Amino acid sequence: MASGVLRDGLYMNVFCRFFLLPLGLFSSSLCGPALDSVFAWTLCPLNVLLIIVDDLRPSLGCYGDKAIRSPNIDQLASRSLLFQNAFAQQAVCAPSRVSFLTGRRPDTTRLYDFNSYWRIHAGNFSTIPQYFKENGYVTMSVGKVFHPGISSNYSDDSPYSWSFPPYHPSSEKYENTKTCRGPDGQLHANLLCPVDVADVPEGTLPDKQSTEQAIRLLEKMKTSASPFFLAVGYHKPHIPFRYPKEFQKLYPLENITLAPDPQVPAGLPPVAYNPWMDIRQREDVQALNLSVPYGPIPVDFQVGHLLSALDDLQLTNSTIIAFASDHGWALGEHGEWAKYSNFDVATRVPLMFYVPGRTAPLPEAGEELFPYIDPFDSVLELMEPGRRVMDLVELLSLSPTLAGLAGLHVPPRCPVPSFHVQLCREGQNLGKHFQLQDLGEDPHLRGNPRESIAYSQYPRPADYPQWNSDKPSLKDIKVMGYSIRTIDYRYTVWVGFDPREFLANFSDVHAGELYFVDSDPLQDHNMYNDSQGRDLLQSLMP
């Protein structure tokens, strides 16, 4: 019986891949709604490749950064729906990842630090890979998807989320050790760490190993009777910046410009400032031996090889590709480095989705959608994103959107409170944005950017910067900064917070920030105490 089911599954897999998909039956412009939802989606479910990059702000060619060479990510964007204004819900790794993988806000997961597991601490919330697994998918994790440690139960949320144990590259354990050779010939724990890959432990780097493992899994899944959900998490550009030294050639120091606003804004409340303590502790920063800029190119290199393998295995016509980051990273703006704030530079992320037959035509036989592009090529073709969405969206919308794009039932909106509800969503399903092409750009389906809002938050242990301001433990949180980003402004209010009861006291206002996007796009001039700020505050009060 089992062998018959497997044989039937393999037959259907081949039937879908080589008959239905080349005919374009996944494109709703070619199918009627009944065939699209009942036949094609059910008969031939789409695979999902989710790529998560650590600490990557939208410093990419497809987001308009002309200094960055990111040809492979730009190529993905050219065949994707790109969200221009996507924001994380908290600008630090574990809380952000748990938020978008469960579809719940940090106030629901009750994870603001790295020191608790949401299933025990808040509620037994389902995750997006778990939901796909329960709907017949083989779910796999490679690299940094969940933040490792307590926040994912030391198991990357296994066995709930994954069909078999997640893969972590063996060279990952050397990331924060002394592997950076300095001018003195000694090894150091530096922030900037260009290396000769042949000389580092194991002769490789974590992201290279992750790409190799992901490709091996894709090769195995090509003949699987089941659809797959593969999440690949890249460590870089998270610090330390340990990367192959040849990439320095792409960014000559004389071509690098500093942040246009490197000073702490005069009107910035002290509670809003992050002192970037982890950066200060690096040996080269202490010695002020900085010479190489931050950049995502090594990640582009790995993404290029991964997507090229998807082409080679003829999986691009049956696989959704989602690309995102967990949060941004300040590069000296406002006198800050790293994340740990509510500013746009810390919360804004790249977000794009490739959907076969929807965001780009299905590939012809033998056609490559994502051929590898060498970032070292002297001449790179400028590629425009397939289509941009200007509406503000939240990263926690990733989960319901992937479910909808894959043809699964989109989980319902969460009630308030929802700690007792295992499966629900607090984010929007972004599926409406994928329908515009199919329905002739119907203006009634367009969102109004002025009605879209993105929320973020960040905790602090005190009203003034101190040693643990960047990453306070739950017990030390005294103030929570709640931030609202609209198309017109960013408004943040810092209020008292009780970590024992997980309660914010909005009557206990410690400070506020208000920045108008049109006149102050870099968010350097806090208008909170001006009359405009008071008027806006009044309009936002319930």
Catalytic residues: 93, 147
The residue to which tokens 């789409």 are assigned: 46
Q: What is the DSSP letter of 142?
A: E
Cβ neighbours for 318, distance < 8 A, ≥ 6 positions apart = 16, 17, 21, 44, 46, 47, 356
Distance CA 275, CA 256 (A): 24
Distance CA 339, CA 54 (A): 11
- Which residue from 452, 265, 435, 276 is spatially nearest to 353, judged by alpha carbons? 435
- Per the document, the length of the chain is 542
- With 0-12 / 13-18 / 19 or more C-beta atoms within 10 angstroms meaning exposed / middle / buried, residue 224 is middle
Distance CA 258, CA 295 (A): 13
B/e letters for 115-138, b = 16+ CB within 10 Å, e = fewer, are ebbbbeebbebbbbbbbbbeeebb
Say if residues 327 and 347 touch (Cβ distance below 8 Å). yes
Please, which residues bridge with residue 224 across strands?
none
Say if residues 461 and 477 touch (Cβ distance below 8 Å). yes
Amino acid (one-letter) located at 505: N
In sequence order, what E strands does 419-502 have? 454-460, 479-485, 489-498
